[in-house]
Amino acid sequence: MKLWGGRFSKNTDSEVNDFNSSIRFDMRMYRQDIMGSIAHATMLGKCNIIPKADSDLIVKTLKEILEDIENGKIEFMVDAEDIHMNIETILTSRIGDAGKRLHTGRSRNDQVALDIRMYIKDEISEIIAMLVSLEKSLLNIAKQNLGTIMPGYTHLQKAQPITLAHHTMAYFEMFKRDIGRLQDAYSRTNVMPLGSGALAATTYPLDREFVAKELGFDSVTLNSLDGVSDRDFVIELASALSIIIMHLSRYSEELILWNTNEFQFIEMDDSCSTGSSIMPQKKNPDVAELIRGKTGRVYGDLMSILTTMKGIPLAYNKDMQEDKECIFDAIDTIKLCIPVFEKMIVTMKVNPERMYSGAGGGFTNATDAADYLVKKGMPFRQAHEVIGKMVAYALDNGKALSEFTIEEFKSCSDIIEDDIYEAISLETCVNERNIIGGPAAQAVQKAIDAGYVFIENI
Ligand code: ARG
């Protein structure tokens, strides 16, 4: 018989039973469910709501059940619907009436809200740890490439020279914000909903603050309707995860491009590439492509939860059971992607010569040539015009600016002198950009130092 079977005269249709049952996916919250029940039972005993002896027996037995689950000794029953009722059923089968006292002053509605919050808190901490590890690898790559000059792009057209360190630190900043978003989401997940009951709290004098403290929550929810029907924290996490994978995907896209025969800026390691079943010469960047591909899936999870929640009247409705598969999938996907992405960038080989020669063509120093004229007293708009003409001449004659003779320079503007060559070298272009946030080695070094401070303070 169902735990709620009292008012029913018929058994649940077996198809409806399967349809309703969530055990196949919510079983992963068994730890959180048991820890939550242990805290609840302890509090019931402490507040004399149930006999102390029963509370002790419940706690002891729940610990045994936890061990049995972890040792693979327990098979959950589809019939018991979800993880909450599965565990309560097992408990009651072991200790009878004492077990039946556990659910005093509690509803599955506040119980599931508690479990999913606890589960998400644990997962956020793990994902932050993965991002921290990735950030350390990025700092390492940046440190080693402060002088690795490469082209920076706008519109995927060569724009100005930067360094690989500067480029790498751009992604460091993105993942830094991701960590901040996760910490932020954590703080709003860290509120304890038990005591909200089904929707209107309870008549028992529960000590909610005690339960919150036992379970490591910062505070308790302040409205019972909201306590059971809020899934903002699930959506916030799905949103933060979507942004993380968007960043991973952009990075992957760049690496796929850099790994092409046309670019050859990097070479993916054999250990992170795959071959073709027909073309013997192929070495494909599958890891990067798969991460880019999985982005759609995480966005889908976010859209799905948002859409599920949009029409739900207060308070709990069964629709909300649909939040779990989505958020579990988003979490699993991110936890697969971050470490493998890190492995891929740590093992890839950088080709500094190709990056350097790539930085040279395409007039990436044209802005600096204009700035040279400005420093000699010419207004910027006029300098822009002069250099524009110079570029047109260079294109006609198949030359780079650095290949001009001094006579050619002077025919464009007589204020140009021999120091022009130094002024428009790629090294000067990069290292003159020595302001906060700039690509000069000194400026990037400061960003790296700040990066280490950030990592150490998480
Ligand atoms: N399995 C349910 C869920 O995931 C638990 C809460 C069910 N409550 C209820 N009154 N049916 O949301």
Mark whether 272 and 184 lie in a shared domain. Answer: yes
Compute, in degrees rounded to 10, the torsion defined by CA atoms 336, 337, 341, 344.
50
Residues with C-beta less than 6 Å from any ligand 1 atom = 22, 26, 82, 108-109, 112, 318, 320-321
> Is there a single domain that holds both residue 81 and residue 180?
no
Q: Identify the CATH number of the domain in which residue 55 sits.
A: 1.10.275.10
Compute, in angstroms, the gap from residue 30 CA to the centroid of ligand 1: 15
Task: Render pLDDT for 189-203 as a digit per residue (tens, 0 to 9).
Answer: 999 999 999 999 999
How much is the pLDDT for 450? 98
pTM for this structure?
A: 0.94
pLDDT reading at 221 higher than 90:
yes
Residues 91 and 117 reside in one and the same domain: no
- What pLDDT, on a 0 to 100 scale, did the predictor assign at position 257? 97
Q: 44 with 113, same domain?
A: no
Does residue 282 register a pLDDT over 80? Answer: no
Quick one: 124 and 264 in the same domain? yes
Residue 435 lies in a domain: no
If asked whether residues 215 and 295 sit together in one domain, one would say yes
- Encode pLDDT of 27-82 as tens digits: 999 999 999 999 999 999 999 999 999 999 999 999 999 999 999 999 999 999 99
Distance from Cα 112 to the centre of ligand 1, integer Å = 7
Let me know if residue 374 belongs to a domain: no
pLDDT of 343-394, one tens digit each?
999 999 999 999 999 999 779 999 999 999 999 999 999 999 999 999 999 9
Lowest mean pLDDT among 118-127, 161-170, 245-254, 365-374: 365-374
Domain termination site, one of 302, 331, 348 = 348
Predicted local distance difference test score (pLDDT) of residue 274? 83
CA-based nearest residue to 324, from 178, 113, 179:
113
Ligand 1 probe mutation, 119, 321, 327, most atoms within 8 A of CB: 321
R_g of the chain computed on alpha carbons: 31
Whether residue 235 sits in one domain with residue 283:
yes
Ligand 1 mean position, distance from CA 110 (Å):
9
Maximum C-alpha span of the chain: 102
The answer to whether position 280 is within a domain reads yes
Domain boundary among 296, 325, 348: 348
- In angstroms, rounded to a whole number, what is the distance separating the alpha carbons of residues 450 and 447? 5
Domain assignment present for residue 376? The answer is no
pLDDT at 112 over 90: yes
From atom 11 of ligand 1, which residue's Cα is the shortest distance away? Answer: 318
Our mutation pick for probing the ligand 1 site, out of 20, 112, 120, counting the most ligand atoms within 8 A of Cβ, is: 112
The closest-lying atom of ligand 1 relative to the alpha carbon of residue 83 is: 1
The parent domain of residue 262 ranges over 109-128+164-348
Nearest-CA residue for atom 2 of ligand 1: 321
Residue 270: predicted pLDDT: 86
Which of 288, 319, 348 is the C-terminal boundary of a domain? 348
Distance 27 CA to ligand 1 centre (A): 13
181 and 94, same structural domain? no
Among the ranges given (3-7, 110-114, 288-292), the one the predictor scored with the smallest mean pLDDT: 3-7
Per-residue pLDDT tens digits for 121-141 = 999 999 999 999 999 999 999
Phi, psi of 160 (to 5 degrees): -145, 150
On the question of pLDDT at 1 being above 70, the answer is no
407 assigned to some structural domain: no
Q: Tell me what pLDDT residue 278 has.
A: 77
- Whether 71 is covered by a domain: the verdict is yes
What's the CA-to-centroid distance between 96 and ligand 1, angstroms? 23
Confidence of residue 280 (pLDDT cuts 50, 70, 90): confident
pLDDT value at position 410?
Answer: 93
Residue 370 belongs to some domain of the structure: no
Return the ligand 1 atom nearest residue 81 CA. 1
Cβ distance 36 to 115 under 8 Å? yes
Same domain membership, residue 172 and residue 70: no
Ligand 1 pocket: which of 3, 12, 76, 82 to mutate (most atoms <8 Å of CB)? 82
* Residue 114 and residue 40 in one domain: no
Both tokens of 419, joined, read 């120091």
Q: Would you state the pLDDT for residue 39?
A: 98
Whichever domain contains 168, its CATH number is 1.20.200.10
Tell me the average pLDDT of the chain: 96
231 has pLDDT over 90: yes
Higher-confidence position of 274 and 286: 286
Q: Judge whether 226 lies within some domain.
A: yes
> Which protein residue's CA is at the shortest distance from atom 4 of ligand 1?
321
Whether residues 58 and 76 fall in one domain? yes
Q: What percent of the chain has pLDDT over 90?
A: 91
| C-alpha distances in Å from residue 409, one per residue of 159, 245, 395, 400, 419 | 22, 48, 14, 12, 11
Q: What is the pLDDT of residue 207?
A: 98
Contacts of 70 (CB under 8 A, 6+ apart): none
The pLDDT assigned to 2 comes to 79
Residues designated as active site: 155, 276
Q: Does 146 have pLDDT greater than 70? A: yes
| Total number of domains constituting the chain | 2
Same-domain pairing of 98 and 174 = no
Any idea which of 5-9, 87-91, 256-260, 307-311 has the lowest mean pLDDT? Answer: 5-9
The verdict on whether omega for the bond into residue 315 sits within 30 degrees of 0, i.e. cis, is: yes
133 alpha carbon to ligand 1 midpoint, in Å?
Answer: 36
